A = this chain, B = another copy of it.
Amino acid sequence: MQPLSPVASGFVLADVDPSSSPGVADRKRAEKELAKRGMELADLQERLFAESTQDGTRSVLLVLQAMDTAGKGGILEHVIGEVDPQGVRIHSFKAPTAEEKEHDFLWRVRRELPRAGQIGVFDRSHYEDVLIHRVRGFSTLEVIEERYGLIADFERELVEAGTTVIKVMLHISSDEQKSRLLARLETPEKNWKYNPGDVDERMHWAAYQAAYQIALTRTSTPSAPWYVVPADHKWYARWAVQGLLLDALRRLGPQWPAADYDVEAEKARLART
């Protein structure tokens, strides 16, 4: 059972405790379930792929947004990493290139969508265009205001075309981020993961939380809902995101497709070779 509710009317981000772990008793239980359910997730994705070879329309898209160090990479490694890599399409959105800037903000996103049968993952996404853009003033408020509507239209279009859209904000506390950044500084093998720019962004913590509050409530829809996943405990965030994916795939209920050729005739043809 998925204990997390989608963001809906009246949602207040500040009310979500990043250190909570709704829906699972403790770490041991969560880790045990993570391992066991990984196989089910892989199996369902393979069925979705099999189905797509005949009826190529359905896919799943997981959008991951978070403050630095919240654990997006760990989700990719430990949750998505359990699925056959052929069935996964991951894209990390960085600062837009010169070419990308020449187009509207959804142009580069459309190019990285999962194909039928795949689980797509966006490590950051088109939401940066209403998050960092709002916080750092890269776009005017008027432009940002328009984007909420454009995003909702875009996602509705995706859903209508057969993509199940799951949007996740990994929610960590400011204290937890501080301690994770410090660990990157104190451990030589982790030094490369630290970027001085991370502290620059950290200084805008409150503004980011406010920008998330607006983006989450403006763009969470029944067909493309947002989930805020408490992420101070990595084991919890992984368990919860896996659960959201699993719920989505179970609802899709993909089936092994029947042969679209004559099985007996092919057996005979093969036997003659």
| A interface with B by C-beta (< 8 Å) | 50, 53-54, 73, 76-77, 80-81, 84-86, 88, 90, 92, 123, 178, 181-182, 185-186, 188-189, 191-196, 199, 202-203, 256-259, 261, 263, 266-267, 269-270, 273
Known: A85-B76, A202-B273. A196 touches B266 (CB 8 A): yes
A selection of 20 A-B contacts at a CB cut-off of 8 Å is A50-B192, A50-B193, A76-B86, A77-B86, A85-B90, A86-B90, A86-B92, A182-B270, A185-B270, A188-B258, A191-B257, A191-B259, A192-B256, A192-B257, A194-B259, A194-B261, A194-B266, A195-B261, A196-B261, A202-B273
Query: Is the pair A81, B80 in contact by a Cβ cutoff of 8 Å?
Result: no
A15 CB to closest chain B CB (Å) equals 24
Contacts of A273 in B (CB 8 A): 178, 199, 202-203
Q: How far is the CA of A85 from the CA of B123 in the complex (A)?
A: 12
Report copies per complex.
Answer: 2
- The answer to whether A199 and B270 have CB atoms under 8 Å apart is yes
Interchain CA distance A181-B192 in the complex, whole Å: 48
A271 to chain B, nearest CB (A): 8
Asked if A191 meets B258 with Cβ closer than 8 Å, knowing A85-B77, A199-B266, A263-B185, the reply is yes
